[in-house]
């Protein structure tokens, strides 16, 4: 059984294969973008939840110590520790850091 195809039929077949490949790649890229967007949203919500929980814990402990006065050292430590954590976080966030990598040298002499 010998199949004889004209050049037009071969080109049509190749066009169909290329089109199917392009559609497959486009759908794979779209799926990848959608999964990345989902992960980014989940990370943001996770970070927001942790920040709110930590803030609520700090405020709760401070409120308990302030409402029940009597120990000045405890009061100052409860107020100072969150201030230290906040200053560390702000300092890291506002500090400009660079990654100085050596330039790729050409081998010309």
Residue 31 inside a domain? The answer is yes
- Examine the domain organization and report whether 47 and 4 are in the same domain: no
Q: Give CA separation, 74 vs 59, 70, 78, 85, 88, in Å.
A: 15, 9, 6, 17, 21
- Whether 22 is in a domain gets the answer yes
**Is pTM beyond 0.85 here?**
no
Q: Tens digit of pLDDT for each residue in 18-70?
A: 999 999 898 888 888 888 777 766 666 677 777 788 888 888 888 888 887 88
Task: Let me know whether 25 and 46 are in one domain.
Answer: no
Q: Tens digits of per-residue pLDDT, 84-103?
A: 888 888 787 777 766 666 66
d(CA 91, CA 98): 15
DSSP state of 103: P
pLDDT band, very low/low/confident/very high, at 16 (cuts 50, 70, 90): very high
Residue 107 lies in a domain: no
């Amino acid at each position: 059984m010998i199949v004889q195809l004209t050049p037009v039929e071969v080109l049509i077949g190749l066009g169909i294969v290329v089109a199917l490949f392009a559609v497959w790649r486009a759908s794979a890229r779209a799926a990848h973008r959608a999964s990345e967007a989902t992960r980014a949203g989940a990370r943001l919500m996770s970070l927001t939840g942790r920040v709110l929980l930590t803030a609520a814990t700090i405020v709760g402990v401070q409120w308990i110590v302030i409402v029940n006065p009597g120990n000045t050292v405890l009061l100052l430590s409860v107020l100072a520790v969150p201030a230290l954590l906040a200053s560390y976080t702000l300092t890291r966030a506002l500090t400009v850091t660079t990654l100085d990598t050596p330039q790729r040298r050409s081998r010309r002499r």
